[in-house]
Structure 1
Amino acid sequence: MSAFTVKLRDGVGMNRWRDDQFWLALALGPIVWGVSLGLTHGVRHEPPAWWVLALAVLVYPPLEEIVFRGTLQPWLAQRTGRRWGGVTAANLLASLAFAASHLLRHDWLHALLVLPPSLVFGYFYERHRGLASPIMIHAFYNAGYVYFLS
């Protein structure tokens, strides 16, 4: 796959709906929100504007996943072959770039807190061979983050 080919559909052989790890990743969302709450003391007192939630759930996850998982991660995978357990060098480097990109709008702690979820998104990009699963997980994580923390 070239660096400019984006694969939105999952690859053959892995059905996300029957993948226990996919469901576990979704179940970890509230834990991620709780850890973020504890580290940032950022309790929300009123619901976000509808358009903020819509951007965070419907717009940012597909765009960010296309850039970081659909373009950067495969490009890096062609140039690196290292793996540490379930994490590839390409996933780690793309996730570091993803976290760094959050420094444009967030402080260093919030940018650092997106690194673990980003590794999860990259893992599912590789596991399911497409962007559908990471986009879904990313949208769910963003929904809770925006609703409870921002």
Structure 2
Amino acid sequence: MKLFSKTMFTALSLAPLAWILPAPSYIPSVPFLATLALCEEVLFRGTLQPFFQRHLPRKLFIAEIHHSGVDRIFSLTPGLANILTSILFAAGHLFFHPTLWAAGVFLPSLVLGMLWERHNSITLCWLIHFTYNIAFFYRPLLS
């Protein structure tokens, strides 16, 4: 559980990066953001990324770190499946957002993909995705 807490803290600490992008002109409701984040995570992390993991090489690079007492290997670099999923995730945002905003979701998508590879948890990815959305869309109210 300690490793899980550190991972979640690290991922959530990236949420303020949303403030680098231009402020949104609209603020969707909190239930809408929660539902949207869940649907996106089920599609991208729960469906596409596992599909790509089964059909593409596992690692793009060889940089790995071994955590003592943990059976899994956590790669310091995203796998090819994660990169392809993140490209599609960013491309999907082009339908509803300006180009800069769509491109801005690529890095958080890589983080979510690495969390998926490490923890295999839609719930974790959804909570962090939802937190990113709140940080982005509600920042005018937080300022």
TM-score range, shorter chain: 0.7 to 0.9
Tell me if structure 2 keeps the 8 A contact 1:53–1:147: no
Partner Cα separation in structure 2 for residue 53 and residue 28 of structure 1: 20
- SS of the aligned residue for 2:138 comes to helix
Match of 1:9 in 2: none
CA deviation string 1:115-142 (max 9, x = no partner): 0001111111111112111111001000
Q: Flag the 1:16–1:67 CA change in 2: closer, same or farther, 3 A.
A: farther
Partner Cα separation in structure 2 for residue 128 and residue 16 of structure 1: 13
Query: Counterparts in 2 of 1:135-150, with a 5 A limit?
Result: 135-148=126-139
Match of 2:66 in 1: none
Match of 1:55 in 2: 32
Partner Cα separation in structure 1 for residue 24 and residue 102 of structure 2: 18
The normalised TM-score by structure 2 is 0.78
Tell me if structure 1 keeps the 8 A contact 2:86–2:106: yes
Moved more, 76-85 or 139-148: 76-85
Match of 1:107 in 2: 98
Q: Percent identity?
A: 31
Match of 2:8 in 1: 22
Q: Once the 2 structures are TM-superposed, how far is the Cα of residue 106 of structure 1 from its aligned partner? A: 0.8
Query: Counterparts in 2 of 1:126-137, with a 5 A limit?
Result: 126-137=117-128
Match of 1:125 in 2: 116
Q: Are 2:18 and 1:33 equivalent residues in the alignment? A: yes
The normalised TM-score by structure 1 is 0.75
Which amino acid letter does the alignment assign opposite residue 127 of structure 2? M
Q: Once the 2 structures are TM-superposed, how far is the Cα of residue 18 of structure 1 from its aligned partner? A: 4.1
Match of 1:65 in 2: 41
- RMSD of the alignment, in Å? 2.3
- 5+ residue gaps, structure 1, are 1-14
Tell me if structure 2 keeps the 8 A contact 1:16–1:128: no
The alignment of Structure 1 onto Structure 2 pairs a total of residues equal to 126
Which amino acid letter does the alignment assign opposite residue 20 of structure 2? V
- Considering Cα pairs closer than 8 Å and 6+ residues apart, tell me whether 1 or 2 has the greater RCO: 1
Tell me if structure 1 keeps the 8 A contact 2:49–2:85: yes
- 5+ residue gaps, structure 2, are 62-75
